[in-house]
Structure 1
Amino acid sequence: MKRKLTVGAVLSATALLAGVIQIAAVPAQAAAPSPAQQQSALLALASGQSAPVAQALALGGQEKLVPKDVVVDKDGTRHLRYDRTYAGLPVLGGDLVVHQKADGSVRSVDRAFAGQLSVPSLTPGLAAPQAAEKATAAVRATVGAADQEEAALSRVDGAGAPELVVWAADGTPRLAHRTTVEGQRADGTPSRQVVVTDAATGQVLSTDEQVKTATGTGKGVNVGSVSLTTTQSGSSYQLKDASRGNQSTTDLKGGTSGSGTLVANTTNSFGNGLASNRESAAVDAQFGAAATWDYYKNTFGRNGIKNNGVGAASRVHYSTNYVNAFWDDSCFCMTYGDGSGNTHPLTAIDVSGHEMSHGVTSATANLNYSGESGGLNEATSDIFGTMVEWSANLAVDPGDYLIGEKLNINGNGTPLRYMDKPSKDGASADYWSSTVGNKDVHYSSGVANHFFYLLAEGSGAKVINGVSYNSPTSNGSTVTGIGRDKAAAIWYRALTVYMTSTTNYKAARTATLKAATDLYGASSTEYNAVAAAWSGVNVS
């Protein structure tokens, strides 16, 4: 469907919560703009409003808003997502979303940090080299540890130049350094940890692994016989999809860096279903990327991971005997290992959907990858990885509420995670408690995974698509599901419109209730089901 975008705005000088944005029409373009042009125009709209919005929100004179994303509803309602700076420094945990009605009046504002932003001094007590040493030492201390959020580090290679920032994510703003420390995990996965340290003391305030993985060992799954959109170049056919933002798949040939070699041949027929054929894993990866693109586009109208029409890259045959897969924002790419013995590529469809959904989260709410927000980050990828699997509807991998079930990472046929009762994996949380944020993010995600299952399918024993489930509730209540499509729509709306980097489980409940109100009404069955499902996992 073609859409013409007409934008342009000037924010009135009246108070934001009562003010109205006066829209100045821009002549319609002769042809419908591309997704990238649409997003650029919307970001320009948000940029033009950033200064008056900051003033209306009573932000300090040293604070500025930097537009990150814009969501526009069918009725014209706009949701402007901003990052914040203070005296020119990025504010970590300072992001906010301004919700405007079609007439320009502001309905509400969601903030990661709601207090008064003030920093006593902009002069760091520790110089940049000292900050880099502190960050490197903190990461180096985790080498060989077995209880890290990601696989244990095997080495630390060094740190980049620290960047001066303002840290506000914990509610106490202070000057800090942000340093990227690179290394490698024990299983061969590259590590890129962003470490935030107090600029006065060197205390570690936050660590965030940028290379997100779906930890697992075992057998990758081939997607079977599928159709692929390829590109012909002379007498060669390439795994490059111009209809989906030029998404492509390359062969790293055992390497661990670089973009790899574009997979191509002369017959326009790739792979034979066997891991011994290097093209077979590439077929899985290219199809997984296309299925993820199609799910977000067909379901939510999202044009690619960043909603700008640009496709992601996939890299196969990473390293040797590498039993993992990961998404990396820095290369905007998805990477797959070949598994044990280089015979079990980790190219399952839910792995593709899971990992690339980390990119969607990064481009929207950017949930901090630690504590409760980290669990919500992981759960978001589990939720949409599951939805991609259902949407793909492969005969060799039917839709289910099991995570990584085709990888056989435990060696006994059991999946990596269960959404109906997360604790069945031996570590994940079924329900919220005050200590759930102390768990590994892959296990604290169980609360949101369980919520999603209850919202989609309801509580109790049942068989769905040939798989048996039995989902309990924390309070013994009976929850009636509203279907996975409605549940996913509510979660996506909450993620892209209401959640911020510091959203925890309590705030996620509020965000999803707002989303349900937007989509179905405040007195709807769907709204009541959201409330009931959260109560069922002890979030109230």
Structure 2
Amino acid sequence: MNRPPLVAVALLCASGLAAALVAPAQAAPAALPAAAVPRSPGVAPEDGARAGAARDTARRAARGLAGLGARDALVAVDTVLEAQGRSHVRFQRTHAGLEVVGGDVVVHQGGADGDSLTGPTTRLRVATRPTVTAASAVRTARARLDLQDESARRDLVVLAVGDPPRLAWRVEVRGARADGSPVGELVFVAARGSGGVLDRWPSVLAETGTGQGHYVGTVPVESTLGSQGVYSMVDPTRGAGRTYDASLGRRGVNPLVTDTDNLWGDGTLADPQTTAVDAHHGAAATWDFYEDGFGRIGIGDDGVGASSLVHAGRFANAFWDDYCFCMTYGDGRGGLGPLTSYDIVGHEMTHGVTSATAGLVYRGEPGGLNEATSDILGTMVEFSADSATDPGDYVLGGEVFTRYDPATRYIRRMDDPHADGLSLSCYSRRVARVDVHYSSGPANHFFYLLAEGSGAKEINGIAHDSPTCDGSAVSGIGREQATAIWYRALTIYMTPRTDYRAARGATVQAAKDLYGPGSVPVVAVRSAWSAVRVG
């Protein structure tokens, strides 16, 4: 059974655009990890038997550890094997054949303390015969949104994100806002009793930026030569990742970006290929970041390249969509250029990685950690690209502002998130109540402190200054180790319901795994979380 797709993840906040990276109301304000761990299905063929054995033993262990009943089953969706004999198997839980949303567990085997489990251990007692019809649930869900070209799909699930677990119709409503930007929402409607809405969160997550018209400078473009002597933007070296031009589409069919001489764009927005180069090369840089750093072959770790759709409209946002396994980029407006800088492309594609691994629910504290993961790893994509025209920094999306000024114009910044006046720099009870783009702040702040430390410094010509929430001084361990810790925590220890407290535990454990229980990185992880008041 495959994890249900995350429909789309947006850069901007929901107040103006679907799940946006930056708030529309906001007018102003490396080396790769050495400890790479290959993931299934990217394991070598000779490891197939070991992976199968790990899944079998983990499934047996999980029945006792997770408190599964006779009607429960586990479907393995991810297997991580380590050279020292440890294994980590992620399971999706079903109850009477229905997916349990929020029920994922990870079984860890081969450790010094024996088998252990991450995830909920609640025994389910849920009636599975609906008394509310699917048609009624769809009507209820659609009534919550006012969209153009609206469509809906539904399935019956057990909703275990909150307490108590409930039988629910999961209705995914999709459509477009007035500006043409895509939007979607997952609405969970009670399948028994009143038929009311139990929970909801965006299924479209988007990115936005500010730009000069081109960001990557002169770069190689991997393309494919067709039988008619025409080159297309299909990257044969990275899973046939493709780039399409929506401005040339007709009747819902968008053509590939093509060229006759394999020379693409001229660096100005007057040439529509320029934006396509940014998106295509950004996707390649993101693929390389995950493959070189972690042995991850593509966003889904299955060797399949994602698609990019440029010139999707005059809207200031960008989106990842699990259903089409693609990114959609607006051309910007209101002082923003095309949303195709390295950090934005990396941010969007990382939403796909999160969906394929931890599956962090896109609301509340897990939603903030979902957004932070895209900010963190998207920023590391920018650093790893090592571009002279778009060097790495912790100022998200600053390049896409037509009047570039990283001190006052940006989407978010990680060294001092609250500098934008909206994001939270420090953990408090407010985190669970604000938009996920603003509740990402404490995790972004934690990562910056872990990598770079507190205080003032200049990074690639941009001033950064990170005050702590408790007045402490924090020493950074560098981007390489910090990134390795976050990626391992995401893919091994986080689950859909991980909150900030659990994220601290996940990163501490990841640091212990990578560098040893008494190591400097473990101490630094604890200090950085404490410095943002988590712990």
Distance 2:144 2:200 in 1: 9
Q: Secondary structure at the match of 1:162?
A: strand
**Matching of residues 273-288 of structure 1 within 5 Å:** 273-288=267-282
1:167 alignment counterpart = 159
462-471 vs 394-403, greater mean Cα deviation: 462-471
1:118 alignment counterpart = 125
1:73 pairs with 2:67: no
Q: Secondary structure at the match of 2:76?
A: strand
> Are residues 323 and 36 of structure 1, via their aligned partners in 2, closer, same or farther at CA, if it must alter by over 3 Å?
farther
Whether the 8 Å CA contact 2:223–2:233 is kept in 1: the answer is yes
1:23 alignment counterpart = none
Q: Secondary structure at the match of 2:103?
A: strand
Q: Secondary structure at the match of 1:90?
A: strand
Deviation at 1:238, TM superposition (A): 2.1
Counterpart amino acid of residue 61 in structure 1 = A
1:8 alignment counterpart = none
Q: Secondary structure at the match of 1:442?
A: helix
Counterpart amino acid of residue 396 in structure 2 = I
Q: Secondary structure at the match of 1:406?
A: helix
* Cα-to-partner distance string for 1:245-286 (whole Å, 9 max, x where unaligned): 111111112659856212222212111111111211111111
1:177 alignment counterpart = 169
Whether the 8 Å CA contact 1:409–1:416 is kept in 2: the answer is no
Deviation at 1:232, TM superposition (A): 2.0
- Which of 325, 329, 332 is the aligned partner of 2:325? 332
Counterpart amino acid of residue 228 in structure 1 = V
**Matching of residues 132-281 of structure 1 within 5 Å:** 132-140=138-146, 155=147, 157-199=149-191, 200-216=193-209, 219-234=212-227, 235-253=229-247, 255=249, 258=252, 260-281=254-275
70-79 vs 382-391, greater mean Cα deviation: 70-79
Distance 2:517 2:164 in 1: 34
Q: Secondary structure at the match of 2:511?
A: helix
1:529 alignment counterpart = 524
Distance 1:410 1:212 in 2: 26
199-208 vs 385-394, greater mean Cα deviation: 199-208
Distance 1:515 1:349 in 2: 27
* Cα-to-partner distance string for 1:469-492 (whole Å, 9 max, x where unaligned): 111111111100000111111000
- Greater relative CO, 1 or 2 (CA 8 Å, sep 6+): 2
2:424 alignment counterpart = 429
Aligned alpha-carbon RMSD (Å): 2.5
1:345 pairs with 2:353: no
Distance 2:511 2:458 in 1: 27
Whether the 8 Å CA contact 2:319–2:329 is kept in 1: the answer is yes
1:64 alignment counterpart = 73
Whether the 8 Å CA contact 1:98–1:106 is kept in 2: the answer is no
Distance 2:230 2:74 in 1: 48
**Matching of residues 295-310 of structure 1 within 5 Å:** 295-310=289-304
Deviation at 1:318, TM superposition (A): 0.8
> Are residues 447 and 274 of structure 1, via their aligned partners in 2, closer, same or farther at CA, if it must alter by over 3 Å?
same
- Which of 439, 444, 452 is the aligned partner of 1:449? 444
Deviation at 1:156, TM superposition (A): 5.2
Distance 1:184 1:164 in 2: 25
Q: Secondary structure at the match of 1:243?
A: coil
Whether the 8 Å CA contact 1:297–1:303 is kept in 2: the answer is yes
2:7 alignment counterpart = none
Whether the 8 Å CA contact 2:209–2:341 is kept in 1: the answer is no
Deviation at 1:342, TM superposition (A): 12
335-344 vs 241-250, greater mean Cα deviation: 335-344
Q: Secondary structure at the match of 2:492?
A: helix
Structure 2, unmatched stretches of 5+, are 1-39
Counterpart amino acid of residue 379 in structure 2 = T
- Which of 69, 92, 96 is the aligned partner of 2:105? 96
2:456 alignment counterpart = 461
Distance 2:90 2:251 in 1: 33
Deviation at 1:310, TM superposition (A): 0.8
How many pairs align?
490
Whether the 8 Å CA contact 1:160–1:180 is kept in 2: the answer is yes
Counterpart amino acid of residue 173 in structure 1 = P
* Cα-to-partner distance string for 1:350-372 (whole Å, 9 max, x where unaligned): 11000000000000001000001
Deviation at 1:106, TM superposition (A): 4.9
Whether the 8 Å CA contact 2:395–2:411 is kept in 1: the answer is yes
Deviation at 1:54, TM superposition (A): 4.7
TM-score, with length taken from structure 2:
0.86
Distance 2:260 2:240 in 1: 19
1:82 alignment counterpart = 91
Deviation at 1:51, TM superposition (A): 5.3
Distance 2:321 2:374 in 1: 14
Distance 2:523 2:335 in 1: 49
1:149 alignment counterpart = none
Structure 1, unmatched stretches of 5+, are 1-32, 141-154
Counterpart amino acid of residue 371 in structure 1 = G
Deviation at 1:215, TM superposition (A): 3.6
Counterpart amino acid of residue 365 in structure 2 = E
TM-score, with length taken from structure 1:
0.85
* Cα-to-partner distance string for 1:162-219 (whole Å, 9 max, x where unaligned): 3111111113111111001122234421112111122222332222322210144665
Whether the 8 Å CA contact 2:209–2:410 is kept in 1: the answer is no
